[in-house]
Amino acid sequence: MNYYKQVLTVTLWEYRRFFKLKNELLSIAIMLLIFTASYFAGKFSAAGFSEKPILTVLKDLNPELTTMLSEAYTIQEILPGEKEQYLKKMAQTKEGFLLEHSTEGFTLQAFKKSGKLQAMRKTLNDYHQVQVMQKIGLSSENLNFVLSPATLEEHYLYETGTKGRTILAYFFAGLMILAVFLSFAYQFTAITGEKQLKITEQIVSAIKPQVWMDGKILGITLTGLSSMLTYSIISILGGILFFQFTGASITNILQFLHLPSILLFLAFTLMGILLWNAFLAAIASMITDPNNSGKSSVMLLPVLFVVASFSVIRDPDNGMSVFLSWFPLTSATAMPMRWVTTEVEWWQLFGSYAGLIITFYLLRKLAAKIFHVSILMSGKEPSLREVIKLVKAE
């Protein structure tokens, strides 16, 4: 059996070992039920706040202000002499709002803070603004004219990508992190678990370590991609349910569907997942007991590098952004983000992608060597220095 057939055999074995179509379909069904239940629960909760809250005011309050407040509240007027009785009732019932107006301003008395008072604050600010404008003889038209911004016509030779494409870039970056996290969990189960069960030595005696490692990287990557596809389907179906329930136009989603961007993001995301899986496979090969190993903290590295690449959005043309778009550990997300925010030459895209491929090739070779030397050491977890020494000797 040649190399490619052996790798395919290991890949399919790893994939079938972890990916269960029944479980994925069950996940989609459960998430759709959660989306639906959350929507109707939120709608029911919002319906509870649709009734106007009661706001109590003294009868000497300005009628104009009372009319303005009645748009958001049910106004209940009391006489000034009934104020003390109302406050005692408020303390007993633990609810109620009393608004008073004096020459110095307004006074609000309530049992506790409430979000229902935000509309009142806005109304009071608007009323105060109108009163001050009338006092100084300034009309609303003159105020709007003074506060109007300068007229500026902007013309650019190069138009950046739309906001929808930027959001699409974030979406694929999130999917890559998700796929890497899931893959790393499978790496621990596949590699460290087999080392603990002492079956790795028997398998490696039949096939080469490179074949075994390549098959694991590809199989677990395929599993992560399948899970990524599942969550993508959940997101799409969730979006369809959102448009269906809210009555919004489904054409709004078309701003995110730009085929060249999707193909570019898919290519870089796939290569990024392969690269990180090769890196994490090398780390997992060094771990004997994942429960007592400090090396498991490296699973945070993909998140750190992906988050670092988000800075490209702010200024895609500075030196750091250009570096991140070429550095293999960040280019899988940084280069697509540069592509949607600034002008990127085709040779930069191909060069960055070639860097990803070369780095993946080297990491898979390194992972196989580390895997090979680590299974030769039994009884303890090899340190990084010991692994480097043995890899060099090999």
Divide the 394 residues of the chain into consecutive groups of 10 and give the mean pLDDT of each group.
82 82 79 76 60 82 85 86 87 87 83 84 86 80 77 64 69 78 74 64 73 87 82 74 64 66 85 88 74 60 82 84 90 86 87 94 87 68 68 64
CATH number of the domain encompassing residue 136: 3.40.190
With 0-12 CB in 10 A as exposed, 13-18 as middle and 19+ as buried, what is 267?
Answer: middle
314 and 385 housed in the same domain: yes
365 and 328 housed in the same domain: yes
**pTM of the complete model:** 0.68
334 sits in the region (left: phi over 0; alpha: psi -120 to 50; else beta) called: alpha
180 and 124 housed in the same domain: no
Phi/psi at 152 (nearest 5 deg)?
A: -135, 120
267 and 372 housed in the same domain: yes
| pLDDT at 357 (0 to 100) | 95
| pLDDT at 360 (0 to 100) | 94
Residue 341 near residue 160, CB atoms below 8 Å: yes
Residue 340 near residue 160, CB atoms below 8 Å: yes
Q: Which of 75, 108, 140 is the last residue of a domain?
A: 140
The beta-strand segments (E) located in the chain are 54-58, 74-78, 97-102, 105-110
Read out DSSP for 219-273?
Answer: HHHHHHHHHHHHHHHHHHHHHHHHHHHH---GGGGGGG--HHHHHHHHHHHHHHH
Compute the distance between CA of residue 122 and CA of residue 384 in angstroms, rounded to an integer: 62
Integer angstrom CA distances of residue 268 from 261, 272, 373, 378:
11, 6, 31, 38
Residue with structure tokens 């992560």? Answer: 224
Compute the distance between CA of residue 120 and CA of residue 99 in angstroms, rounded to an integer: 10
Share of the chain residues as helix, strand and coil, in percent rounded to the nearest 5: 75, 5, 20
Residue 232 lies in a domain: yes
| pLDDT at 244 (0 to 100) | 66
Residue 288 lies in a domain: yes
Residue 335 lies in a domain: yes
364 and 271 housed in the same domain: yes
Residue 8 lies in a domain: no
In a 3-state reduction of DSSP, which class is residue 107? strand
Residue 10 lies in a domain: no
97 and 192 housed in the same domain: no
Of the candidates 335, 332, 384, 390, which has an alpha carbon nearest to the alpha carbon of residue 356?
332
182 contacts: CB under 8 Å, gap ≥ 6: 223, 224, 227, 228
224 and 284 housed in the same domain: yes
Amino acid 51 reads E
269 and 358 housed in the same domain: yes
Q: Which of 90, 106, 140 is the last residue of a domain?
A: 140
| pLDDT at 111 (0 to 100) | 85
Residue 44 lies in a domain: no
Residue 45 lies in a domain: no
Task: Say how many residues make up the chain.
Answer: 394
Q: Which of 111, 140, 169 is the last residue of a domain?
A: 140
127 and 167 housed in the same domain: no
181 and 274 housed in the same domain: yes
Q: Which domain holds residue 129?
A: 54-140
Of the candidates 332, 382, 373, 379, which has an alpha carbon nearest to the alpha carbon of residue 352?
332
112 and 176 housed in the same domain: no
Phi/psi at 100 (nearest 5 deg)?
A: -125, 155
In a 3-state reduction of DSSP, which class is residue 110? strand
**CA terminus-to-terminus distance, the chain:** 25
The structural domain count of the chain equals 2
Residue 373 near residue 391, CB atoms below 8 Å: yes
168 and 217 housed in the same domain: yes
Residue 294 lies in a domain: yes
In a 3-state reduction of DSSP, which class is residue 316? coil
| pLDDT at 353 (0 to 100) | 94
